[in-house]
Structure 1
Amino acid sequence: MSGTPALAAPRQDAAPRRASWTLSPYALPLNALRILAKCALPLILWFSAGRLVRWALLLLAATVSHGSWYQARLVLVMFLFTLVVMTSLATTVGMLYVVREALLETRARRAGGEAKESLPNALNRTALVFAGIYTSWGFVADDAREFADIDILRQPDRLVVDAFSGDNSGVARGLLDLDPKVSLGAMVVAYVVKWYFGRRHEEREGRFTGMLATFGELAFAFYGLNAVAAAVGARSDWIGHRSAVAAWHDFAAGAEENVPGWKQVSEWLGEVWPHVIDALAVPLVWLTVGILVYGAYAEDTRTTIRGTPLEQAAVHLERTHNWTRLALAKLSAGWTARWIPLLNSLRLTVHGGAPLFGLFALCYVGLHIGGDYLLRAGRYLTASEEPYLWFATGEPLAYVVDLVVTLVTMCLIAATFDIAATRRRLTGGTGERDRLSPSR
């Protein structure tokens, strides 16, 4: 009987050991599959609803882009295209939102007394940063390409017939033919919407001000495409002959001739850099969106800069005159409202550790490469000698592949946040992650 306590001790340590393993970066794929198994149905519903609304808006925009009052129609087309991007925002945030109850971090927050956040609040917080990410990283190009494809498939013969007759069919040009003067007028209206609701969002007034400000910002960017393109086209020759630009071209040409290996290194960087962006930057971008959806630990400047050299600058700023602090707060209000949550989210990712982010990036890239092979295999299996059968099989096949890739990607983002946030909470943000290692 005296040996019973010694035999019981290993069973008492079994639960902590299992818990530490779930927090290991190398358990990320298993955690993602666990979340997928628990939340598969709502994820499928959100993805399907988003795809249906997005397809309907694109079809409506393609239909509206032809007929009389052409410029007025194109203004409406750009409005609908802005709604397409907003639909992508709502779908992404909604899919990340429905899996939050399956996260260990969410359960810990509920146990700590934190109230459940509503979906509109998550949308409002994420909207502005999502808009910047979506446009600056080129994701909007996929929407524009799909709009053109839908417009062509609506009338597959019109583009060829009008080309032979010399007429301008306007097919697939609904986003390009807006008159620059009309673009400028629409830009002014969009800017007013962006400015008004942006200020209200900074003052935390209104429930949907962030989304309305995002709509204004996207509309301002899209309506300005034609005006900017016209302006750039008119000044491209002038810019090319300016002294600074000409000097840079001369410097680059001289470096290629006189610096050994310059040309080879520049060519190598040109080939490798796109892969670096796809493998590291793009996964980090989507991970940041997920962290913003689940809410950063704090959205204030002091928490974000804590432990950095900027904290001492903030201390000195607090000792200045009240009018100085007030003026700086007003000048930096827009910047802090948009980018402080993003910086705080990136800092949380760093606290998760290099192995966690590295495995997330590896899984993200592997998943999308696997999706490409899955689509290729599906096309091979559904190939037929019947002409135009791919019209009927192509879209369902693309839907299934996108469904699988998107669902697993959302679960990977959620699992990565869950591990990083839980590890930071248990260590108090001190970086003492060694005690969470399974080997201990």
Structure 2
Amino acid sequence: MPSPYSLPLHALRLAGKCALPLILWFSVGELVRWVVIYVATEISHGSWWQARLVATLALVTVVILISMTVTTGMFLALRNALWETRARRQDGQEDERFWVSLNRVAPAFAVIYLAWELYYRDAADFYAMDRFHNLDDDFYTTVLNNVAKGTDEEVTYGMGLVGLDWKVSLGAMVVTFGLRALFSRMVEKGSGKFAGVASAFAEFAFVFCGLNAIFTFTQLRGDWASHRAVVSGATEAWEHAKENVPGWEAFWGWVGEMWPHVIEALAVPLTWLAIAVLIFGTSIDDARRALRGTRLEKGMDKLEGTHDVTQRAVDRAIGGFMERWVPVVNAFRITIRGGMALFGFTCLLYSGLHVGGQYLDRAVRTLIGSDVEYMWLVASKPVVFIGDLLVTCLSYCVLAAAFDIAATRARLRGEDITA
């Protein structure tokens, strides 16, 4: 029976055994991502700008698919060294092939990736590349040139993801929505060799192509809602509470400061653990499993006994909440099979690696130093790459080790980790 306190040693064991494939997967993935982002920044400026932006959004969607592929490959590389994998092989279960795993993982991965807005890093990398790639044509230079020449040249710097006209954006949304529905139906029927990957691509493209239209309509809806009596009354009640309830503003200010840290320390590690569990072959998007053993399970039974219209209405109302938190709750339930110590250790090590990586980056930059102008425009990329390599590989090893310990303890107790 493996101890929860063996998590650090088990993670280091996995890192030692799988170091080479992890490094190769990460390195190739970063190289391919860089090339695709570079091409996206190249085509996001010039004539036929709206058509170029559609192609840019498609390439950014490809960048996310690359991230999904690399994540799947790195966890599958770790799968070969897990105790749970050895036990499954002894039970006669064959290892799932890479493309089969990727096709199975893709739809659920897309839901988690979008629900937790993990695409911010991809968007930030695109914006940074666009910024440094077009230093001579940035926003301020273009505006100043327009003022000096008396022209009205269109500003395209930094607008690759948000410059799409809302009408074009709405049309692209309709097309990608149709593709998403088609591929999702193929996934449900089990047809199509790469229907899962295509469904994920359509899911990401639907969101990115619709960003501009959604932003426009959200502004209009916000302006409309701000004048409604209910919203106005709620705002007045909130202001009244701030003025008359002692400690009201201080309490909610404290909650606002602490909540991001709670998310980073607890929810984010469990989100990535849910992705790892999904890749290792266990379901994490089952709402009934997440609510099993609680009072809410009876509510689920009642909901399933209602009319289809009621079920669809509830799904629309709380769909986003369920997509975000059901995988996290299921990951927690799996981890807790190894005890609270395993859950605490997993979150502590995951968060500690990322915080430690930031301090290590600062220490390396201070140690190297430089009196040469613009030297860090060149030197920062290798430093960031090595830091990200270490943090990412060790974090994935921690997540894989946590799943392995929980699954092994459950198996030795005669329990089913998938139940």
| TM-score (structure 2 length as normaliser) | 0.88
Contact 1:382/1:393 (8 A) holds in 2: no
Deviation of the 1:430 alpha carbon: 8.7
Instruction: Tell me whether 185-194 or 225-234 shows the greater mean CA deviation.
Output: 225-234
CA contact (8 A) 2:274 2:330 kept: no
Deviations 1:16-41 (A, max 9, x none): xxxx3xx1111100000000000000
Choose the corresponding residue for 2:134, options 148, 155, 176.
155
TM-aligned CA deviation for residue 119 of structure 1: 1.4
Task: Show the counterpart of 1:293.
Answer: 279
- Picking from 253, 265, 275, the partner of 1:267 is 253
Q: 1:124 aligns with which of 103, 106, 112?
A: 103
Match of 1:67 among 46, 51, 59: 46
Contact kept in structure 2, 1:288 and 1:342, CA below 8 Å: yes
Equivalent residue, structure 2, for 1:88: 67
Structure 2 unaligned blocks of 5 or more? 147-152
Please tell me whether residue 28 in structure 1 is matched to residue 7 in structure 2: yes
Equivalent residue letter for 2:335: T
The 1:273/1:140 distance shift into structure 2, 3 A limit, reads same
| Pairing 1:234–2:214 present | no
Q: In the alignment, is residue 113 of structure 1 matched against residue 113 of structure 2?
A: no
**For residue 406 of structure 2, what is the aligned residue in structure 1?**
420
Q: Which amino acid aligns with 2:9?
A: L
Could you tell me how far apart the structure 2 residues matched to 1:310 and 1:402 are?
40
1:165 to 2:165 alignment: no
SS of the equivalent of 1:68 reads: coil
Instruction: Specify which of 355, 380, 394 is matched with residue 380 of structure 2.
Output: 394
State the match for 2:150 in structure 1.
none
> Which structure has the larger Rg?
1
Q: CA deviation at 1:314?
A: 8.8
Q: Deviations over 1:205-230 (max 9, x none)?
A: 22321111111111111111000111
| Separation in 2, partners of 1:343, 1:253 | 34
Do 2:278 and 2:284's aligned partners in 1 also have CA atoms closer than 8 Å?
A: no
Q: Does 1:409 align with 2:395?
A: yes
How many angstroms does 1:157 deviate by?
2.1
Alignment partner for residue 175 of structure 2, among 185, 189, 195? Answer: 189
- Aligned length, in residue pairs: 402
Distance 2:379 2:225 in 1: 49
Contact residue 53 and residue 160 of structure 2 kept, 8 A: yes
More displaced 10-residue stretch of structure 1: 116-125 or 282-291? 116-125
**Gapped regions of structure 1 (runs ≥ 5):** 1-19, 432-440
* Structure 1 position 283 matched with structure 2 position 262: no
2:416, 2:389 → 1: CA distance?
39
Deviation at 1:134, TM superposition (A): 1.8
Which AA in structure 1 matches 2:13? R
Kindly report which structure 2 residues correspond to 1:360-379, keeping only aligned pairs within 5 A, or say none. 360-379=346-365
Preserved contact between residue 54 and residue 87 of structure 1 (Cα < 8 Å): yes
Tell me how far 1:144 sits from its aligned partner. 1.1
Aligned to 1:12: none
Displacement after TM superposition at 1:390 (Å): 0.9
Q: In 2, distance between residues paired with 1:137 and 1:297?
A: 18
Cα deviation, 1:347-366, whole Å, max 9, x if unaligned, reads 32232321101111001111
Q: Which residue of 1 aligns with 2:345?
A: 359
Residue 384 of structure 1, CA deviation: 1.3
Aligned-partner SS, 2:80: helix
In 1: Cα distance, 2:298 partner to 2:250 partner: 44
Mapped partners of 2:285, 2:44: distance in 1? 42
Deviations 1:321-372 (CA, angstroms, capped at 9, x unpaired):
xxx99x989x99xx9xx89877654432232321101111001111011100
> Which residue does 2:31 correspond to in 1?
52
Q: d(CA) in 2 for partners of 1:249 and 1:121?
A: 51
**2:332–2:343 contact (8 Å) kept in structure 1:** no
Aligned AA (1:203):
K
- The reply to whether residue 249 of structure 1 matches residue 235 of structure 2 is yes
- The range that moved more, 72-81 or 349-358, is 349-358
**Counterparts in 2 of 1:399 and 1:298: CA distance versus 1, 3 Å:** closer
Q: Tell me by how many angstroms 1:308 deviates.
A: 5.5
Sequence identity, in percent?
45
What are the Cα deviations for residues 75-134 of structure 1, in whole angstroms up to 9, with x where unaligned?
Answer: 000000111111111111110011111011110110111111111222222222222222
Q: 1:302 to 1:156 in 2, by over 3 A?
A: closer
Describe the SS at the equivalent of 1:102.
Answer: coil
For residues 267-305 of structure 1, give each alpha carbon's deviation from its aligned partner in whole angstroms, at most 9, with x where no partner exists.
Answer: 110111111011001011001110011011798888777
| Counterparts in 2 of 1:258 and 1:315: CA distance versus 1, 3 Å | closer
Q: Note closer, same or farther for the CA distance 1:212–1:316 as it changes in structure 2 (3 Å cut).
A: same
